[in-house]
């Protein structure tokens, strides 16, 4: 309530969870991986900038590690890695994983239902045909978003020929709205916060039989798309010769809004690494929705406003007052903990990462950067001296140049405080 940075360690954490978790099986990860594979040739036609798979790099950031150790007087240990979802093609954020996957699943369903695909057919290029476009343009995909999910749904949805309506909360950045409009997306602006924007999108979609609602709060398809990233990370660690085991566990730090993205990745990572991975969510001090949901076990029946917090933050993707009950329930035994971070720290870290590694991320994506500091400083936290630390960079590559400079200047002004 004092909006001070805190670390909450989950008292119900279970090192080796039993799958399925609340009836959610790891088959959803396999299905998502197969769907991404089927749609990849089609994606390469729609977006020529996609040369390889729909993946992001895993980069070492040794200079930023030194900056963190110096600034916070901690010993983080090697290596410190950055999962560059800000470099994901087209949408430039983690939301490309879940958002693309759900749109793919809807397009696939329509194509199968209308005979454009059959269950044995793997030639998904049929979905670029005139017949497919005529079918898709009859449907509207609706979603409520603070920004990046709307961008991913809008870009892939309109590319396939769907109508797309994105309901944006008051926290959404103007440049994200403008980018959506440039891609032919209908942007519906709301003066309210994320939760009410989602509700408005849901109601509008329910009133239209030709509308499909992407439910950021409850979607298993979004969740599965995020969860598929776990095997990608495993492969990249193997390629770097980094072995994860009990003596060298994996610590992963994930910026958290309503919970779908970090929750899906946590589900996937626990299925791959079991007891050898610890996942931590990072939330703004003014918007710790998942923290209050899990700490009270009230999930979506409690909000940050109940505790006198205003849910106002520059980290637009994390400006969520009420968490997903679907995700929170699954996280009850999977998540190691949650910490909070102030907006001032986000901008300081943004500036430090830019000057030390020449990497720019948007403010919300820096929430994970304080993770190694928080766990290394925790006297009662799990041991981190021999850990491999991965900070999940959730977005930033699409931020316009002028806004980048404003963010950097703001960070520079805070760096010595």
CATH code assigned at 247: 3.40.50.1100
User: Does 45 reside within a domain?
Assistant: no
- Residues 141, 272, single domain; the answer is no
Neighbouring-strand partners of residue 283: 340
Of 168, 203, 221, the last residue of a domain is: 221
Domain count within the chain = 2
- Residues 205, 233, single domain; the answer is no
pLDDT of residue 380: 47
Residue 304 belongs to domain spanning = 7-23+55-91+228-414
pLDDT of residue 395: 94
Mean pLDDT of the chain: 93
**What percent of the chain shows pLDDT beyond 70?**
97
- Residues 102, 80, single domain; the answer is no
* pTM attached to this predicted model: 0.95
- Residues 194, 176, single domain; the answer is yes
State the alpha helices, DSSP H only, in 73-141.
95-113, 130-136
Q: How confident is the model at residue 79 (pLDDT cuts 50, 70, 90)?
A: very high
What digits encode the pLDDT tens for the residues 195-236? 888 888 899 899 999 999 999 889 999 999 999 999 999 999
Q: How confident is the model at residue 77 (pLDDT cuts 50, 70, 90)?
A: confident
Of 221, 242, 270, the last residue of a domain is: 221
State the alpha helices, DSSP H only, in 114-249.
130-136, 148-160, 174-182, 194-206, 220-227, 229-239
* 3-class SS of residue 255: strand
What digits encode the pLDDT tens for the residues 318-368? 999 999 999 999 999 999 999 999 999 999 999 999 999 999 999 999 999
Half-sphere exposure of residue 302, counting CA atoms within 13 Å on the CB side? 19
User: Does 200 reside within a domain?
Assistant: yes
- Residues 176, 263, single domain; the answer is no
Cα–Cα nearest to 324, from 356, 297, 289, 358: 289
- Residues 336, 233, single domain; the answer is yes
Cα–Cα nearest to 369, from 385, 348, 398: 348
**Looking at the predicted structure, is the pLDDT value of residue 121 above 70?**
no
User: Does 284 reside within a domain?
Assistant: yes
């Amino acid at each position: 309530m004092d909006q001070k940075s805190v670390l909450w360690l989950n008292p119900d954490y279970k090192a080796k969870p039993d799958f399925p978790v609340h009836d959610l099986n790891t088959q959803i990860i396999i299905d998502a991986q197969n769907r991404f594979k089927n749609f990849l040739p089609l994606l390469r036609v729609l977006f020529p900038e996609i040369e390889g798979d729909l993946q992001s790099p895993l980069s070492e950031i040794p200079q930023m590690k030194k900056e963190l150790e110096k600034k916070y007087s901690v010993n983080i240990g090697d290596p410190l890695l950055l999962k560059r979802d800000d470099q994901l093609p087209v949408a430039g954020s983690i939301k490309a994983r879940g958002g693309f996957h759900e749109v793919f699943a809807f397009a696939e369903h329509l194509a199968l239902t209308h005979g454009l695909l059959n269950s044995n057919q793997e030639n998904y290029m049929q979905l670029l045909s005139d017949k497919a476009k005529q079918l898709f343009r009859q449907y509207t995909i609706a979603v409520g978003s603070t920004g990046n999910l709307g961008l991913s749904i809008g870009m892939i949805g309109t590319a396939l020929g769907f109508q797309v309506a994105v309901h944006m909360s008051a926290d959404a950045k103007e440049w994200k709205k403008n980018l959506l409009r440039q891609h032919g997306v209908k942007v519906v602006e709301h003066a309210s916060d994320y939760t009410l924007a989602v509700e408005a999108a849901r109601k509008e979609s329910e009133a239209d039989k030709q509308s499909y609602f992407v439910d950021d709060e409850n979607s298993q398809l979004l969740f599965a798309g995020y969860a598929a990233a776990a095997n990608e990370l495993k492969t990249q660690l193997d390629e770097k010769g980094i072995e994860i085991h009990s003596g060298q566990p994996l610590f992963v730090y994930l910026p958290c809004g309503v919970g779908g993205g970090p929750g899906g990745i946590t589900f996937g990572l626990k299925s791959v690494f079991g007891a050898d991975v610890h996942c931590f969510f990072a939330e703004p001090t003014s918007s710790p929705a998942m923290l209050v949901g899990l700490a009270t076990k009230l999930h979506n029946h409690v909000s940050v406003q109940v505790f006198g917090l205003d849910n106002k933050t520059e980290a637009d993707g994390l400006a969520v007052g009420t968490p997903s009950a679907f995700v929170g329930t699954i996280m009850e035994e999977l998540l190691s903990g949650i910490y909070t971070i102030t907006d001032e720290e986000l901008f300081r870290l943004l500036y430090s990462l830019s000057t030390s590694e020449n990497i720019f991320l948007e403010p919300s994506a820096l929430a994970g950067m304080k993770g190694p500091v928080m766990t290394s400083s925790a006297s009662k936290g799990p041991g981190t001296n021999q850990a491999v630390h991965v900070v999940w960079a959730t977005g930033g590559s699409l931020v316009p140049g002028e806004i980048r400079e404003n963010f950097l200047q703001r960070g520079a002004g805070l760096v010595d405080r």
